[in-house]
Amino acid sequence: MSFFHTNQSQPNSSAMPKWLFNLLGAVLFIVVEAGLLIVAFKRQSIAVQLLYFAALLPSLILHELSHGLIAYWFGDDTAKNAGRLTLNPIPSIDPVGTILLPAIMTVSGVGAFGWARPVPVNLAEIKSRDKRAMVSLVGPTTNIAIALICGLTYKFLAAPHLAAWETNSLAPISTPLFFVQPLWAQLILIAGFANIVVATFNLLPIPPLDGSALIERALGEKHLEAYYRFRSYSMIVVIVIVLLGRNLLSGLFNFEFNHWLSLVGFLG
């Protein structure tokens, strides 16, 4: 999701050295992720929800980090100066979009997505409209790449063992194939799905989603000012689509996921 800003307050590093802040943030995130995996292993009834949440968090953070990295590559150091070009997840966590909303939607079984705290980008530093579009589209491209990596990993490390896992499983015959796999194989599948959801949702051509960069690139210069005014209020449109088009979005996500499952060898 692309919420580009031109001003960003500088992080206050006087209270704690930057390296220590980043280290503590990374350790805390690893502990949280490990906790989710441990509970998922012990509580099969909510394992899918917990694994999805565990996969969604880093997916959202890497999505936003990629925006800042490509903007920096194109000469905009706003994200770097704001301390956002880091693997420390804490600066990227949005309490609502990264924690509360995904957690509620995951537990409710609706199918969750969310957003990380947007990386600041100063568009005035990126003159080329093509490069601006690339800054937007690199986010979902990152998620597609992660889904591809998950798919290849599953195809070569897990899929060849599916038949053996099903045969040797002590679970009841009616147990879905997904649950006779080891936890790591389940996590790979769900991580692929989470990234498919994030990429697909953000590629919708509606401001402020990343796919709207295609509209901006296609518009003539004389229409850009009106487009930017509309963009300031377009989040309302996104919320309406999420609320009213939930079934349509779920159908789209599931269609892509089932196709992906066939490609990686989970579905015959």
| CB atoms near residue 173 (< 10 Å) | 6
* Under 8 Å between Cβ of 210 and 2: yes
Within 74-128, residue ranges assigned H as helices are 78-81, 101-108
Contact criterion met (CB below 8 Å) for 111 and 134: no
CB of 86 closer than 8 Å to CB of 22: yes
- Given this model, what pLDDT does residue 1 score? 63
CB 198 within 8 A of CB 253: no
- Is 125 a known active-site residue? no
Q: pTM value?
A: 0.83
Tally the C-alpha atoms within 13 A of residue 121's C-alpha that lie toward its C-beta. 28
Catalytic residue among 64, 125, 166, 216: 64
pLDDT given at position 107: 66
The Cα 186–Cα 49 span in angstroms is: 11
H helices of the chain, in order, are 18-42, 47-73, 78-81, 101-108, 129-157, 162-168, 183-202, 212-218, 221-231, 235-244, 246-264
The structure tokens listed for 163 are: 């038949």
**Residue 8: what pLDDT?**
46
Which pLDDT does position 2 carry in this prediction? 57
∠ CA 95-98-102, rounded to 5°: 110
DSSP state of 99: I
* CA 116 – CA 61 distance, rounded (Å): 6
Show the low-confidence residues of the chain (pLDDT under 50).
6-11, 13
